[in-house]
Amino acid sequence: MHEEVKHPCVQHKLALIRDKDTGHKKFRELATEITMFLCYEALKNVSLKKVKVQTPIATAQCHMIDEDIVVVPVLRAGVGMLDGILGLVPTARVGFVGIYRDEKTKLPVTYYHRLPPQTEGGLCIVIDPMLATGGSTVATLDLLKANGATTIIVVCIVTCPEGLKKVREAHPDVAVYTAAIDDRLNERKYIVPGLGDAGDRLFGTS
The residues annotated with a catalytic role in the active site are: 101, 105, 197, 200
Per the CB < 8 A criterion, the answer to whether 204 and 77 are in contact is no
DSSP string covering the chain: -EEE---HHHHHHHHHHH-TT--HHHHHHHHHHHHHHHHHHHTTT--EEEEEEE-SSSEEEEEEE-S-EEEEEEETGGGGGHHHHHTT-TT-EE-EEEEEE-TTT--EEEEEEE-PPPPTT-EEEEE-SEESSSHHHHHHHHHHHHTT--SEEEEEEEE-HHHHHHHHHH-TT-EEEEEEE-SEE-TTS-EES--S-HHHHHHT--
Rounded (10°) angle between helices 161-170 and 135-146: 20
